[in-house]
Structures are given as structure tokens and as C-alpha cells.
Structure 1
Amino acid sequence: MKNHILFPIISCLLFSIQAPGQTLDTIYANDHQVVSLSFSNPIQTGMTGSPSFAFNFNREQADNLGLLQAEKDQESNLLVRTTTGDLYSFNLAYREHLPQLHYFINPDQRLANPFQHSSNGPSAQDCIQKTASTKEEHFTLFCTQLLHKKSSARHSKHQKGIRVKLMDQVYHNDHVFMVFELKNRSTIPYALGQFQLSKVLGTPKRKASYQELPITPLFEFKMPNQIGPSSSVRFVVVYPKFTLNAEQRLQVKVLEAQGSRNLILKLR
């Protein structure tokens, strides 16, 4: 996550105080075991107050899991922001024998919003909402420009009267904007059940080594729920910037809701 997005949020938090009656949970870690934290929504940003604690998460693909380790005789804190804009804060402490190795973080544990507008400065929630709104406006503007841009299909797949095309793929800052087109050449409406971009390793024939790693979209622009007969729709999906190793490839899975007109578009 870019500093120009993160710093306004931290600045807002400096003006805030902890909500009355709200206490922070303590998570214990050490240097010879890995402590895992599962959040209800993917992690966007995570940081510790001391380098003696290391909090790692997938920065290329939005994921709900974070891993924590610590050095001896240190105490600190952890601040996590999810892709939904929720903030979580925890005390951190070292312990040789850990009480537990995995924490399921309940949404009720997110920071409450006791802030009111005052002369002391803006509330943290105001800053988060403003940042999220600005980001959504940026996505909307850029997606609109991409849909007006003339482009020819880079990849295409059709089956049973349904065709999916990748029209364009643009890297912008830390995001990947992918322009798709769905065309229904049949006389029956097509209800879209699932549209999933994934990293794929191996082949389905060798199930032991086959993996599909879905890439969670950050924003969908004009994604259709249904395509009418003899109609086509273009839309844009925004993903976090990702990379592929030499053994991975991309694929798009398009599944019909309550139907069998399904497609898999291989992009690499």
C-alpha cells in the first residue's frame, strides 16, 4: 500500500483517543513458533510498533491470514487494516510458552468509532471513509476511460453460444485493471453465477499438484448479473498488482448460475 494512502489514516489516528471501555487484546508470540491470525476480511495493511515483532501477510494477493513472530523481552502493538477499511489494534508481548498458536479475529474486535467532530481534528473513521471514497472515485474514472478506449481481444474463449474475451490489461500504480467482454450469442438469457480470476499451478489431471489461487478483486465496474440474448457487455475488474512465477498461469473461470454454460479462459 502506498504511503500517501497510509499516512493520512495514521495522522487521523494521532488525533483520536481510545474509546471509553474498549480494551485491547494481547497476542503472544516468540522466535521459534509462528502465530497465525485469521481476519474475516483480507488484510490490506499491517504494521508493528517495534522491529522486534514481524507481521507478514500476502502483499501481492489479498488474503485473510497474517503471521507473527517476536524476539525476546519486548512489548509492542499491532495495527491491521482490512480491505473493507476496518481497523484492528492489539498489544503484543513475548512469551516462551504460547497460550495459543492461532487467533480467529472476530469483526467485533475492530476498533470502535467513538469519535465526534471537534476542533481537535478529524475522526479516524472520517479519514478512512474519505480515503476509500477518493480511491473508489479514482477507480471509477479510470475504468470509464478504459471502457471508452478502442481495443481488440487479447484472449478469447467460446462455448455453447457464450464467449468471454480479455480486451485489455493495464497496470496502474499498485493495481491491475482488466477489461473483459461477455457475449451471449444464444436465444436464452445468460445469468452470471461466478467470474473468478485465479493463479493456476499444475493441471487438473494431476490433482495432487494442482492448485487454483483466486485473486480477490478490489473493485468491479459495470459487472453484469445477466446478459440478454444476442447481447454483449464490457466491464472492468480491478485487482491488486500480482506476479506469476515460471510455473504459474492465469485463468478466468466463468460459471452460469443454475446452468451448464461454463467457460475457462486461459491467459497464459
Structure 2
Amino acid sequence: MKNHILFPIISCLLFSIQAPGQTLDTIYANDHQVVSLSFTDPIQTGMIGSPNYAFSFNREQADNLGLLQAEKGQESNLLVRTTTDNLYSFILAYREDLSQLHYFIAPEQQLKNPFQHSSNSSATHDSIQKTPSIKEERYTLLCTQLLHKKSSTRHSKHQKGIRVKLMDQVYHDDHVYIVYELKNRSTIPYALGKFQLSKVLGTPKRKASYQELPIAPLFEFQMPNQIGSGTSVRFVVVYPKFTLNSEERLQVKVLEANGSRNLILKLR
């Protein structure tokens, strides 16, 4: 009996927090596919106004990924609060056929506080401007130590004269530091177009269930734009701490700018 009363109350509360003039995005889901949402910050809480929708996330260890499914029924909405106290709200609707299975949620989509004064906004802006420099110093210090540390190759892949190696992986606080090496054995300089670490679910052969979920880096240290012929470069990329479930694995995608010398390094 209490549950029947609770859902309408939560629904009313969620719809009432929308800031004036702010349009909410609609996310579609169904009962035979999983829709994933990636936030820039780990999820702290997630609430849905109607019981025909289900939103799940890692409650034991902070993670940026949330999963959504729905049973056929009325529209509802989703309220997500991240560990940085940012609020996000979305309209939820059932759709039998989904054209999008993953949503990257940008910081600009968070709910705006209409009661926040401009002076507070200015103070907040100033603090945000100062914070990255402190973090950058910490990142740089540990990245420098890792590059001077002796380490052996953990994973490696080569193709068309280009080799990518994963040399080391270190967890520190809520971050993951990964040391990579790119080596160019060809006679032509290699211009790096894209370097991306992703969680992978499923296989490319089954396109309906295959998903690549990029892990956005927090900091890149000595990431090269180009690797000269016969040279190698080591660098460090800092990511937010992440976990993998039993069906997920990692992959590193290396794409050449204006070229076809592309690599995919498959990990656990």
C-alpha cells in the first residue's frame, strides 16, 4: 500500500524541480534492449517516477555508467544526482524500436538553479578556474614518476609498422593511471588522429548488442601528436576509476589522422 502512494509523490516531486525555461531531453527505452547513460561524474543517486521504468547503476563503487530499461506504459522521468552534486533530469518514454542505445550526458545538460545569484556564480567560476591547476600538478607529479619507472609490456598490438603497448596501470585515489607506448617502425611519420580507451560489450558480429562505451580521460601527459619514423613515445593518460562486469572488456583504439594505419588493442 505504501509503494502505491510513494510513486505518485516521487513523480510530482521530480517534475516540479525543472528550472523555468529549461527543456528536458527525452530518453527512449524498452524491455528487450538495454540503454546506457554515461555521465562525466560518478552517479550518486537515481530516481524514477513510474514503476514501469528501471534505472540501475553501481551502488557499491562510484561509476559514471547507468543502465535503463522500460516496460510499455505511460511516460515518466528520471532524476540523477552525481557525486559532484549536479542534478540531471530527463523525460522517459517507451519505444518498441530504438535508434539510440547510448547517451553521453554533457555537463551542460545539468539542471540550472534559477535562484543562484550572479555573485555566487562568479565565485564558483573562480574556484573552478583554480581547481584544475592544483589537480594538474598532482597528475603531472605521478605521471612523471610513472614514466621514469621501469615497466614491462603487459599488452601489445602491431600492424603496418605501428605498435601500441600498455606498459603499466596504477590505481591512485579515484583515478586510474595508464602508461602507453606508441612505436613507429615504418619509414613514414605517424600522425595520431584518435586515441581512445573504451568499455566493450558484445561482439561486432552481433551489431544489435554490441556497444563501445568510451572512458573520457581526465588528463593526458606527454600525449604525442606525431611519432617520427623509427621512434617510440611513452605517455600517461589519467581516467576516472572504473570497473568491469563479467561481460565487459577493455579496448584501446588507435586511429591515424588522414591515414589507414589503425590499431585495436583488446584487453580484459
TM-score category by the smaller chain? 0.5 to 0.7
- How many angstroms apart in 1 are the aligned matches of 2:230 and 2:251? 25
Report the secondary structure of 2:142's partner residue.
helix
Match of 1:244 in 2: 244
- How many angstroms apart in 2 are the aligned matches of 1:192 and 1:105? 25
Q: State which of 41, 44, 48 in structure 1 corresponds to 2:41.
A: 44
- How many angstroms apart in 2 are the aligned matches of 1:256 and 1:135? 30
CA spacing shift, 1:245–1:152, aligned 2, 3 Å? same
- How many angstroms apart in 1 are the aligned matches of 2:174 and 2:181? 23
Superposition pairs of residues 6-45 of structure 1, within 5 angstroms: 42-44=39-41
Q: Check the 8 A contact 1:186/1:230 in 2, yes or no.
A: yes
CA spacing shift, 1:60–1:189, aligned 2, 3 Å? farther
Q: Per-residue displacement from partner, 1:131-184 (whole Å, max 9, x unpaired)?
A: 332222211111111111111111111111000000100011111110000000
Identical aligned pairs, as a percentage?
65
Q: Check the 8 A contact 1:61/1:215 in 2, yes or no.
A: no
- Residue identity opposite 2:260 in structure 1: S
Match of 1:164 in 2: 164
- How many angstroms apart in 2 are the aligned matches of 1:237 and 1:199? 16
- How many angstroms apart in 2 are the aligned matches of 1:25 and 1:148? 49
Q: Check the 8 A contact 1:157/1:163 in 2, yes or no.
A: yes
Superposition pairs of residues 115-130 of structure 1, within 5 angstroms: 123-130=123-130
Report the secondary structure of 2:176's partner residue.
strand
| TM-score under structure 1 length normalisation | 0.62
Query: 1:62 offset after TM fit, Å?
Result: 4.2
| TM-score under structure 2 length normalisation | 0.62
Q: Check the 8 A contact 1:43/1:57 in 2, yes or no.
A: no
Query: 1:47 offset after TM fit, Å?
Result: 7.0
Q: Per-residue displacement from partner, 1:58-98 (whole Å, max 9, x unpaired)?
A: 785546x899xxxxxxxxxx89679xx996799xxxxxxxx
Report the secondary structure of 1:192's partner residue.
strand
- How many angstroms apart in 1 are the aligned matches of 2:41 and 2:266? 28
Report the secondary structure of 2:41's partner residue.
strand
Query: 1:42 offset after TM fit, Å?
Result: 3.9
Match of 1:135 in 2: 135
Q: Per-residue displacement from partner, 1:24-62 (whole Å, max 9, x unpaired)?
A: 8598xxxxxxxxxxx9x94426778x9x9xx98778554
- How many angstroms apart in 1 are the aligned matches of 2:161 and 2:257? 15
Deviates more, 1:186-195 or 1:108-117: 108-117
Q: Per-residue displacement from partner, 1:236-262 (whole Å, max 9, x unpaired)?
A: 111111111122211111111111111
Q: Check the 8 A contact 2:186/2:230 in 1, yes or no.
A: yes
Note the residue ranges of structure 2 that are not aligned, 5 or more in a row. 1-18, 25-36, 50-54, 69-78, 95-104
Match of 1:226 in 2: 226
Superposition pairs of residues 88-107 of structure 1, within 5 angstroms: 107=108
CA spacing shift, 1:234–1:194, aligned 2, 3 Å? same
Q: Check the 8 A contact 2:252/2:266 in 1, yes or no.
A: yes
Query: 1:207 offset after TM fit, Å?
Result: 2.5
- Residue identity opposite 2:169 in structure 1: Q
- Residue identity opposite 2:143 in structure 1: C
Q: Check the 8 A contact 2:175/2:240 in 1, yes or no.
A: yes
Q: Check the 8 A contact 1:61/1:216 in 2, yes or no.
A: no
- How many angstroms apart in 2 are the aligned matches of 1:250 and 1:105? 23
